[in-house]
Homo-oligomer: A and B are copies of this chain.
């Protein structure tokens, strides 16, 4: 297996020979897209810019992703997988799961923003659907634990739990909350989530 980082080999004659195939373009592009979106917002990036960063031609990304939407679809799929993993680690405890949800959103704000932005990616994509239902299953499982201690309907409890965690995370990321500087999102979320479970 040949790993070729273009910038490092620049200047050698081997570039023209081995530089044709990047080797790991797909992952490189996704990572670059996440970074670019993090810096400049959801539409502050271009396929050509990603290509430039990766040191490939301007049309190379389209080969792997079809179009711009394809890159966002890949990010969404990655996001739902990461979320599922985070929630699975918290097991069937609402407070822990809720904090994990917030923690995921804060640590992967770009993924989070893409995932819940309807229409900007292909929600019917196979990889997305798979990761999405996986995350959804863990979510429902976690909220069921909370509903057990309550006399409310489980589906209402699930929705309430999901809503409050999702809402807090969204508001936090949007910058709408005015909290003391230096506050960690998870610490700020704890008492808020606690209001739901009593």
- A-side residues, CB < 8 A to B, are 41-44, 113, 116-120, 123, 150, 152-153, 156-157, 159-160, 162-171, 173-177, 188, 191-196
Contacts and interface: CB of A to CB of B under 8 A. Distances in A.
B168 A159 contact: yes
A192 B150 CA distance: 13
The SS class assigned to the A binding surface is: helix
- What 7 pairs across the A-B complex have the smallest Cβ distances? A167-B167, A163-B167, A166-B167, A160-B195, A163-B168, A43-B43, A41-B119
Contacts of A150: 195
A170 B170 contact: yes
A160 B116 contact: no
Contacts of A119: 41, 44
Given A153-B191, A156-B191, A170 B167 contact: yes
Contacts of A195: 150, 152, 156-157, 160, 196
Nearest to A173: B118
Contact of A192 (B44, B113, B120, B156): B156
